[in-house]
Structure 1
Amino acid sequence: MKRRRYVTDVKRLDGKTVLITGGNSGVGKETAVALATRGARIIVACRDPEKARRAVTEIRLQSRSLNVCHMDLDLANLSSVRGFCKDFLQKEKRLDILINCAGMPSVLDWTDDGFSMCFGVNHLGHFLLTNLLLPRLKESAPSRVITLTCSSYKYQKLDFQDLNYNLLPFFTYCRSKLANIYFSQELARLTEGKGVSSFAVHPGFVQSGWTSHYSFLFRMLMQVVMWMFFVSTEIGAQTVVYCAVSDEAAKHNGGYFVDCRPAVLRPFARDEGVAKKLWEASERLVKLA
């Protein structure tokens, strides 16, 4: 197995505010611990208040920082996203780092707004969230947006006749991860010169709780596979932390990162025309004025 890098940058984040979707578990939680340890104010955005409260307690204990809190957010409901952003902008005067970490695996399910769960949560929910919080990111510049994706993007291209769904749930997931990459690139172009940097991160294949959406037999099988071949959540969080703190990463605005360094995308995933078309289509789908 390829040896993965650990972040060696010791930069502090005192006075910085970090918002992490899905920060209650997996890579998001490990990232929260790492950044809280560096002095950042951490806001965990999660749809389950009880899970979020438990996670906040654990993050505080592990990081030895009390500057960690949670806010309710359901990315599968665009009204919830709008309400969250309104509340956030009223309460929080800074947003230095936004980490779009929450995600759904390849399940056949639907959001409250009628989108496939994969595409609705992984792309559209984060698309609306980032756009509504963009004014605060610009005010807090230099700021960063880090969006988690996956190397499985390479197995699909976008179908603008039906962005939302594919008959095979795994391919819907692949499309959503490709959409994350295009989103990150277009965000970098649209905010160029405005102090907001954007990065897409593949954390590796991580031993996390994504199998909870599947049957007991599948979960047991995947536990064995993950134990043999997947990396820990601590290692998975390293590239996210790297993009949050590294001055070197800031030189690659709009870049795709793997193992704490820029990585090369397939040519079709670097198509500026497709990225722009997806951005405009996403604006229509979420009714972003």
Structure 2
Amino acid sequence: MTDFTFADIPEQTGKTTIVTGSNTGIGFEIARHLARKGARVILACRDGDKAAEAANEMKEGPERLEVDTLHLDLANIASVREAAETAQKEKQIDLLINNAGVMMPPLSHATAGTELQFAVNHLGHFAFTALLLGKLAENGGGRVVTQSSIAHKSGDIDFDNLDASNGYAKSPFYSQSKLANLLFALELDRRLRAANSPVASIACHPGVAASELTRHLKGGAFFQPIMKVVLNTSEQGALPALQAATDPNAEGGDYLGPRGLMEARGNTSGRAYKSERARDEALAKRLWEKSEELTGINFSV
């Protein structure tokens, strides 16, 4: 696979894409670039007002991009079900980009009782993907793109403490959620292949990029301008997801990320490193089964 740049994004006219967490930061840039290439993009976000502002910014600009919004609170499975039901009414869905995330907040919980990072970053996307998989299989088959992180390398899944009742530390719980993202994407690929599904599951990570994800970090607002210079801007951080979504050479099971400075930055994207735990199929299967149990939603593959 050759290095991928913004100039390599192919025409997307006629395609419909859902991008979660796309009212700001990396998600906004993913959505904007896809819309610029002709896709109809749906911003799936928790905050309806911010999503509307982002959509209006794209639609009212000189390019007059085709953008809509969808209310989606990934911490609330009832909201995930409602959003999926609305999305099912679309004529087609060609791309689902699971981008939304929360990073190292104070301890809080989702409606199901699990710790918030695990719930939003993994469980909500797991459930949303399951509910839309049939739709993605129509029209020749689409792609599911799941955003992980280089933080997955230090992650593990503590099945006995997913609700943080036995203790909470921000960073390990974030790494756990990002490992869960990658385990999910790779297990979904294996199951899709076994079922001869036309849908492809591809994972990616943005490197280290300045985005709203850092809002819970101490000094995050101060360091963002520095990060834009030293590491990646939000736009640069969007490139691996754009490659996963559009590169004809990308395949199910790929994991894509920046090509520079230990995968932390770069103007090109390509295959990235998967940790040993991310490649553990038994761990992925156990996580899958636990995720179905916690969400009450089962996959068709």
**What's the secondary structure of 1:20's corresponding residue?**
strand
Q: Is 1:167 the equivalent of 2:168?
A: yes
Change (3 A) 1:6 1:66: closer
Q: 1:288 to 1:226 in 2, by over 3 A?
A: same
Contact 1:7 1:239 in 2 (8 A): no
- Provide the secondary structure at the position in 2 that maps to 1:71: strand
CA distance in 1, matches of 2:59, 2:146: 24
CA–CA distance in 2 between the matches of 1:288 and 1:44?
A: 23
Give, in whole Å, the separation in 1 of the partners of 2:239 and 2:61: 16
Structure 1 residue matching 2:19: 3-state secondary structure: strand
Going from structure 1 to structure 2, the CA distance change for 1:83 and 1:63 (only over 3 Å counts) comes to farther
Letter of the 2:279 counterpart = R
Counterpart in the other structure of 1:113: 112
The structure-2 alpha-carbon separation of the partners of 1:15 and 1:271, relative to structure 1 and needing over 3 Å to count, comes to same
Q: Is the 8 A contact 2:115 2:162 kept in 1?
A: no
**Cα deviation 1:127-179 (Å, max 9, x = unaligned):** 00000001101113331011111101111211222234352111000000000
Segment of structure 1 superposing worse, 259-268 or 187-196: 259-268
Partner of 1:134: 133
Q: Which residue matches 2:102?
A: 104
More helix by proportion, 1 or 2?
A: 1
Q: Determine if contact 1:76/1:121 at 8 Å carries over to the other structure.
A: yes
- The ranges of structure 1 where at least 4 consecutive aligned residues each deviate by more than 6 angstroms after the TM superposition are none
Q: Residue 87 of structure 1 corresponds to which residue in structure 2? A: 86
Query: Does the Cα contact within 8 Å between 2:114 and 2:162 map onto a contact in 1?
Result: no
Unaligned runs of 5+ in 2: 259-268
The letter for the 2-side match of 1:207 is A
Instruction: Judge which range, 110-119 or 32-41, deviates more.
Output: 110-119
Name the CA distance, whole Å, in 2 between partners of 1:76 and 1:52: 17
CA RMSD, 1 decimal: 1.8
Alignment correspondent of 1:182: 183
- Name 2:124's counterpart in structure 1: 125
Higher mean displacement: 158-167 or 131-140: 158-167
1:62 to partner: Cα distance: 5.0
Partner of 1:237: 238
Note if contact 1:36-1:63 (Cα within 8 Å) is conserved in structure 2.
no
Take 1:189 and 1:11, find their aligned partners in 2: how far apart are those partners?
Answer: 26
**Pairs within 5 Å for 1:13-28:** 13-28=12-27
Counterpart residue identity of residue 223, structure 1: Q
1:6: which partner in 2?
5
Retained in 1: the 8 A contact 2:45–2:71?
yes
Equivalent pair of 2:102/2:120 in contact (CA under 8 Å)? yes
Q: Note if contact 1:33-1:63 (Cα within 8 Å) is conserved in structure 2.
A: no
Identity score, percent: 38
The normalised TM-score by structure 1 is 0.91
Counterpart in the other structure of 1:210: 213
Partner amino acid, structure 1, of 2:288:
W
Q: Which residue of 2 aligns with 1:285?
A: 294
TM-score (norm 2): 0.88
| Aligned positions, number | 281
Mapped to 1, the partners of 2:19 and 2:68 lie a distance apart of 11
Cα separation, 1, equivalents of 2:197 and 2:72? 27
- Deviations, residues 52-72 of structure 1 (Å, cap 9, x unaligned): 111001122457134211011
Deviation per residue, 1:174-200 (Å, 9 max, x gap): 000000000000111111121111111
Counterpart contact for 2:9–2:243, Cα < 8 Å = no
